[in-house]
Amino acid sequence: MSLQDKYKPLTDAATAAGVSDLQVREQDGILYIDGTATDGKTKDQLWDVYNQVDPDYRSGDLVLNINVTPAAAGSKATVVTDESNLNIRKGPGTDQPIVGKAAHGASVTLLNQTNDQWWLVKTESGEEGYAYARYLKAE
């Protein structure tokens, strides 16, 4: 079974969910699916489908890179850490100094989401810096 066939439920789901810029490419025996979802929920749904096709993502034959359409600058995001504070850093990287913190459940203002991993945000107390995108949920 070709990789495209194996992951057809995923590409079908992506198409049905209206994922834009959907690209499905096979290179050196690995399938690369790229696209942009309108929201984080759609992205999570697609990862669920991936998990159904390839339980616990064990096969190593797919790189699924679904981005979420950036929210408008100035819109809000919620801090979705497990329970701890979210570090706000000077630059995009954990090697960068911490310039502030945002509490679990707090709201921050999104300033720039051009980096997939690190978003530039402003906390409620006015600190500006980079936070890891995994812990932010656009409202």
Partner 1 sequence: MKKHTLTAFVAVLLFTSFTLFSCKSKPSDADIQAAIATAVSTIPGASAASAAVKDGVVTITGQFTDDAAKSQYETAVKNVKGVKSVQDNANVQPQVQAPVTAPVEISADDALNKGLSDAVKDFNGVQASVKDGVVTLTGEIKRSDLPKLMQSVSSLRPKKIDNKLVIK
Instruction: By CB under 8 A, name the binding residues for partner 1.
Output: 23, 25, 27-28, 30, 32, 43-44, 47-48, 51, 56-58, 60-61, 63-65, 67, 93-95, 116-118, 132, 134
Residue (109 or 132) nearer to partner 1, CB:
132
In whole angstroms, how close is the CB of 119 to partner 1 at the nearest point?
12
In whole angstroms, how close is the CB of 102 to partner 1 at the nearest point?
15
Beta strands 136-138 and 86-89 are unpaired
DSSP state of 56: G
Supply φ then ψ for residue 18, to 5 degrees: 75, 30
Tokens 């459940």 sit on residue: 105
Residue (93 or 105) nearer to partner 1, CB:
93
In whole angstroms, how close is the CB of 126 to partner 1 at the nearest point?
25
Cross-strand bridge partners of residue 76? 109
In whole angstroms, how close is the CB of 35 to partner 1 at the nearest point?
12
Residue (30 or 73) nearer to partner 1, CB:
30
DSSP state of 92: S
Residue (46 or 110) nearer to partner 1, CB:
46
Q: Which string of b and e fits 111-138 if b means at least 16 CB within 10 Å?
A: eebeeeebbbbbbeeeeebbbbbebbeb
Residue (5 or 58) nearer to partner 1, CB:
58
Alpha carbon distance, N-terminus to C-terminus of the chain = 40
